[in-house]
Amino acid sequence: VPAVECQQVSITYPDGFTAVQDIDLAVAPGEIVALLGPSGSGKSTLLRGLAGLERITSGRVLMDDVVVDGPGVIPRPVHQRGCGMVFQDGQLFPHRTVGRNIAYGLEAAGVPKPERRERVAQMLQLVSLEGFENRPVTTLSGGQGQRVALARSLAPRPKLLLLDEPLSALDRDLRERLAVDIRQILTSTSIAAVFVTHDHDEAATVADRIVTIDAGRIITA
Ligand code: ADP
Ligand code: ADP
Atom of ligand 1 nearest to the CA of 44: 2
**Distance in Å, CA 45 to ligand 2 centroid:** 9
For residue 89, the model assigns a pLDDT of: 86
In whole angstroms, give the CA distance from residue 83 to residue 90. Answer: 16
Nearest ligand to the CA atom of 38: 1
The residue whose CA is least distant from atom 21 of ligand 1 is: 13
**Distance in Å, CA 50 to ligand 2 centroid:** 17
Atom of ligand 1 nearest to the CA of 45: 6
Count of alpha carbons within 13 Å of 146, Cβ hemisphere only? Answer: 22
pTM here is 0.90
The residue whose CA is least distant from atom 18 of ligand 1 is: 19
ipTM of the modeled complex: 0.77
Report whether residue 35 contacts ligand 1, using a CB cutoff of 6 Å: no
Q: Give the residue among 195, 205, 122, 190 at the shortest CA–CA distance from 158.
A: 190
Report whether residue 197 contacts ligand 1, using a CB cutoff of 6 Å: no
Q: Rounded to whole angstroms, what are the CA distances from 85 to 57, 112, 211?
A: 22, 23, 19
For residue 221, the model assigns a pLDDT of: 61
Which ranges constitute the DSSP H helices of the chain? 43-51, 98-102, 104-108, 113-126, 142-154, 172-189, 200-206
Are the C-beta atoms of 38 and 214 separated by less than 8 Å? yes
Report whether residue 13 contacts ligand 1, using a CB cutoff of 6 Å: yes
Pocket test for ligand 1, best of 9, 17, 54 (most atoms within 8 A of CB): 17
Q: Which residues of the chain have pLDDT under 50?
A: none
Report whether residue 93 contacts ligand 1, using a CB cutoff of 6 Å: no
